[in-house]
Amino acid sequence: MEFYRETKLIDFVSKVGRQFRMNSLLNKDHISKRLNGEDDGLSLTEFFYTILQSYDFAYLNEKYDCTLQIGGSDQWGNITNGCDFVKKQYRKQVYGITTPLLTDKNGSKFGKSEGNALFLDESSKYNMKQYLLNLADDSIEDFLLMLTFLKKEQINTIMEQHNANPEKRVAQKCLSDELMKMIYGDENSADKNQVLYRLRREQLMIMSIAEFDRLAQEVDKDAVIKLQKQTNLMDALLKLRSSKSEIRRLLQSGAILINDQRVDQLDQAQLLHDKYMLLKIGKRDLRLLIFI
């Protein structure tokens, strides 16, 4: 943060640290649970983080009159520490609100630290839609209840349809449509990449270079992957999957389609106009590869 740039550690500890009492900190649930848990305990960095977050809140209150901090329920201790610190430092009343964490059935949370967070600015529409479509079946009903304004009766009907044919992912599609509409508006909620899913091999084989270029402009930018001409297909697929062994397994199971044709081996000769390739992995991951 910019306001820490000129801050000296000794001065910070002297000015800010004296406002915190160890007994109070150690009695906080989020700290005591880590200290007494079965994992690796609590590092000094993690312990000090609550003081930094408290100071952040105080700085924002002083400079911008920020009086409310909102966070997930796991931030309750840090937020209340911040409220206490502001009250001691400036004799002001500030507030905190926490919301329940989004978790899967195993209790693992969704967030930056878990590497599975969605961002309104950083996540493209394409990646957001793919993320929502790939949510696990065992959590999807809870997400429909928490994240949409659909009535319980509507969600019950959706789940009946979903459970009858889970492979169609009716519930995931419904959640995706509702959230995309909520975030981007009705006019932007339509999936621009549907044109890719509708393309059949006979159409691809007769498309001109100009048509491929126009297609690349029309679909979401994350649905298009541009590669160096000398890039082999295995390296191209490694941008989408974690290992060569996974790619070979997908090939053997018939889960990879090139230009709408199932393949069991990768062949650079499958490029159209020596440049374009429509690659599909599984049922939903569809990309237009352009070798330049």
Among the residue ranges 28-42, 83-97, 193-207, 250-264, the one predicted with the least confidence is 28-42
DSSP code at position 102: P
CA distance 125 to 20: 44
Among the residue ranges 49-53, 54-58, 191-195, 228-232, the one predicted with the least confidence is 191-195
Long-range contacts of 14-23 (CB under 8 A, 24+ apart): 16/51, 16/54, 16/55, 16/85, 17/51, 19/85, 19/88, 19/89, 20/51, 20/54, 20/81, 20/85
DSSP code at position 123: S
Domains and CATH numbers, the chain: 2-99 (3.40.50.620), 112-188 (1.10.240.10), 194-291 (3.10.290.10)
What residues are paired with 289 via a beta bridge?
225, 277
At residue 280, the 3 state secondary structure works out as: strand
Residue 290, φ and ψ in degrees, nearest 5? -125, 120
What's the chain's Rg over C-alpha atoms? 25
pTM over 0.75: no
CA distance 126 to 133: 11
CA distance 247 to 265: 10
User: In Å, how far are 22, 90, 121 from 101, measured between CA atoms?
Assistant: 28, 31, 21
Among the residue ranges 113-122, 161-170, 185-194, the one predicted with the least confidence is 185-194
pLDDT digits (tens, 9 = 90+) for 115-141: 667 777 777 777 788 888 889 899 899
User: In Å, how far are 56, 64, 83 from 19, measured between CA atoms?
Assistant: 14, 22, 12
